[in-house]
């Protein structure tokens, strides 16, 4: 068999374009894109997945990977992968924002830890939410669904096609959904803690000799942790709903 330049570029493109899209997903997605996961491991994992699925995918267009058109196609593939991973990452960010709001209401904003997913300092309550959401994500096989959707995207959104204005706008709008999702998670605890603060304020006005600072601080902590324990099932339900919406939106943007 004679190996020509076109045949060689076809072989390279068959694995290169899936590798770029999968790598983009790994960069932005939770777990895969965590700060404690080395870049080398992500590259190797994306490369092996691309090699495994390349024979099962539709043949890519015969484009020189080092040409200007090839660079444009590479950028499109990376953007598609980044969009897929970002949508799921925003769901986890909603839980982090909710935990930060609750921690500030409890007076635990000063107690912070390093978030292994983002590598930044977050309150302990946010860290609890991150661990809870990660366990739920793994229990639901969300990581496998994410890889499966990315591989199936080569059929619904073949190589050479990019995201349109409607799909990109849907990704932007999902950022606003993150704030509303965080509010839904944090609202019950924040309202309860606000009522406790109002009650302590009324007690302080009625009996000014009552030292509200020394008594109110442990009361807020006890009430806050009690509310968190009681509301954990609700938090899990809200996270699962947000995750389902994110996967539905990924299916929409990948259908083009």
Instruction: Tell me which residue of 185, 181, 222 sits closest to 200, measured CA to CA.
Output: 222
Q: What is the spatial distance between Cα 239 and Cα 247, in angstroms, rounded to a whole number? A: 12
Q: What is the spatial distance between Cα 113 and Cα 124, in angstroms, rounded to a whole number? A: 6
Alpha helix (H) residue ranges in 33-123: 39-53, 68-106
Read off the tokens for 94.
């909603």
Whether the model pTM is above 0.85:
no
Q: Tell me whether residue 231 is exposed, middle or buried, using C-beta atoms within 10 angstroms of its C-beta: 0 to 12, 13 to 18, 19 or more.
A: middle
* pLDDT score of 123: 73
pLDDT grade, residue 114 (50/70/90)?
low
Share of the chain above pLDDT 90, in %: 0
Exposure of 214 in the CB half-sphere (CA atoms within 13 A): 3
**Terminal Cα-to-Cα distance of the chain (whole angstroms):** 38
Helix (H) or strand (E) holding 203, with range, is helix 165-206
Other Cβ atoms closer than 10 A to 180: 11
* pLDDT score of 19: 85
* pLDDT score of 8: 55
Average pLDDT over residues 30-43: 76
Average pLDDT over residues 213-240: 79
The answer to whether residue 93 scores a pLDDT higher than 60 is yes
The answer to whether residue 2 scores a pLDDT higher than 60 is no
Cβ atoms of residues 243 and 132 within 8 Å: no
The answer to whether residue 209 scores a pLDDT higher than 80 is no
């Amino acid at each position: 068999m004679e190996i020509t330049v076109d045949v060689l570029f076809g072989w390279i493109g068959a694995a290169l374009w899936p590798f770029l899209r999968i790598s983009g997903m790994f960069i932005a997605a939770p777990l895969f894109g965590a700060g404690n996961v080395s870049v080398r491991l992500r590259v190797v994992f994306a490369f092996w997945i691309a090699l495994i699925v390349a024979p099962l995918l539709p043949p890519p267009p015969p484009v020189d990977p080092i040409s200007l058109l090839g660079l444009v196609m590479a950028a499109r593939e990376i953007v598609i992968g980044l969009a897929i991973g970002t949508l799921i990452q925003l769901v986890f960010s909603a839980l982090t924002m909710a935990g930060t709001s609750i921690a500030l209401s409890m007076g635990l904003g000063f107690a912070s830890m390093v978030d292994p997913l983002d590598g930044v300092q977050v309150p302990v309550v946010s860290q609890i939410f991150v661990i809870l959401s990660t366990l739920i994500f793994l229990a639901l096989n969300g990581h496998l669904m994410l890889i499966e959707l990315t591989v199936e995207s080569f059929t619904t959104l073949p190589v050479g096609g990019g995201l349109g204005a409607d799909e990109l706008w849907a990704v932007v709008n999902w950022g606003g959904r993150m704030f509303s999702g965080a509010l839904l998670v944090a609202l019950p605890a924040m309202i309860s803690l606000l009522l406790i603060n109002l009650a302590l304020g009324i007690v302080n006005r009625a009996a000014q000799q009552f030292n509200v600072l020394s008594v109110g601080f442990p009361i807020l902590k006890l009430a806050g942790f009690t509310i968190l324990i009681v509301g954990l099932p609700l938090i899990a339900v809200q996270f699962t709903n947000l995750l389902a919406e994110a996967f539905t939106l990924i299916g929409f943007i990948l259908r083009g």
